[in-house]
């Protein structure tokens, strides 16, 4: 396997973790988050600092999970008071605040980022395998949650908080749980990204990247784990398959997002379901 193939597969695995984790927040629980890049970046920087300080892979993973989760819970508390468009604006603000804060901190590398991050010792193939294993575990967790009482509660809160309350569902607690789980996994993705690149700059975690992650969720089908996985894989490979797309990635992703919202609100999952029903009727 070539270095290029290892690189592409690794990026696909990281994007799958990010898209599925965002789907838990926005798809399952209906909390529109447009700042997922901040949690991704928080995990990456936590892992980088831990690796530089200790060189311990398990400690770096735990630091990334904890940092992403704590930042997510802080934003989750804000979600208890704001909804829909206001929550989306709040998460956008968090993303910009994160980027602006990191740029001004010399101990975080500022504009230059952090380089010389110690290697995991697993080698490129070992790192790729670890990323794929964590991606598979994230998918399995998402599928388990979607079929559990927690998944039912998430969807009830997302659909109608008032109706959920009549069923005895504490909407605040489940909102916090969604943010805590989703952002912890984003932090994990950041850690794996750090292992993969051994160099990070804050530009990799900006608002544009957060929009691309939301595009994966919407195009795949909000709330559908497998649809989001397919979209994450496809939208990661698209710029590689069609080179000119790479130069206009935001324009292409934005255009696809608008088309899906207008023509197929259910995303890829909705299109497949409608096609299946049409076949059954015929």
pLDDT tops 90 at residue 269: no
Using alpha carbons, select from 77, 105, 101, 108 the residue that is nearest to residue 194: 108
Q: pTM to 2 decimals?
A: 0.92
Domain boundaries along the sequence of the chain: 3-206
pLDDT in tens, 203-223: 999 888 998 899 899 888 888
Residues 160-181, mean pLDDT to the nearest whole number: 86
Q: For position 145, what pLDDT does the model report?
A: 94
The mean of the pLDDT values for the chain is: 88
Phi and psi, residue 115, nearest 5°: -120, 175
Work out whether the CA dihedral 59, 62, 64, 67 comes out positive or negative: negative
Six-digit token string for 190 = 């950041």
pLDDT tops 90 at residue 263: no
Q: For position 259, what pLDDT does the model report?
A: 79
Q: Which has the higher per-residue pLDDT, 134 or 162?
A: 134
pLDDT in tens, 46-80: 999 999 988 899 999 999 999 999 999 998 887 77
Q: For position 243, what pLDDT does the model report?
A: 62
Six-digit token string for 277 = 């029903």
pLDDT tops 90 at residue 239: no
pLDDT tops 70 at residue 270: no
CA distances from 247 to 239, 240, 258 (A): 8, 11, 19
Q: Which has the higher per-residue pLDDT, 46 or 235?
A: 46
């Amino acid at each position: 396997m070539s270095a290029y193939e290892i690189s592409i597969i690794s990026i696909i695995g990281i994007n799958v973790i990010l898209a599925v984790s965002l789907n838990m927040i926005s798809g399952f629980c209906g909390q529109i988050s447009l700042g997922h890049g901040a949690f991704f970046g928080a995990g990456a920087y936590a892992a980088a600092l831990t690796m530089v300080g200790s060189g311990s892979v398990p400690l770096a993973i735990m630091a990334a999970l904890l940092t992403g989760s704590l930042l997510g819970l802080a934003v989750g508390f804000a979600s208890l008071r704001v909804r829909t468009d206001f929550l989306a604006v709040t998460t956008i603000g968090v993303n910009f605040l994160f980027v602006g804060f990191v740029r001004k901190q010399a101990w975080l590398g500022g504009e230059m980022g952090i380089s010389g991050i110690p290697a995991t010792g697993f080698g490129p193939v070992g790192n790729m395998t670890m990323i794929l294993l964590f991606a598979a575990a994230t998918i399995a967790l998402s599928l388990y949650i979607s079929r559990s009482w927690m998944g039912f509660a998430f969807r009830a809160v997302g659909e109608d908080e008032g109706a959920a309350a009549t069923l005895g569902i504490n909407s605040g607690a489940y909102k916090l749980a969604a943010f805590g789980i989703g952002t912890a996994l984003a932090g994990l993705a950041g850690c794996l990204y750090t292992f993969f690149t051994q160099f990070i700059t804050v530009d990799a975690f900006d608002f544009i990247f957060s929009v691309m992650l939301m595009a994966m969720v919407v195009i795949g089908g909000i709330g559908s784990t497998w649809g989001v996985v397919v979209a994450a894989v496809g939208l990661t490979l698209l710029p590689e398959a069609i080179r000119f797309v790479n130069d206009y990635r935001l324009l292409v992703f934005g255009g696809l997002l608008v088309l899906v919202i207008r023509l197929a609100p259910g995303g890829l999952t909705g299109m497949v379901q409608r096609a299946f029903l049409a076949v059954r009727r015929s």
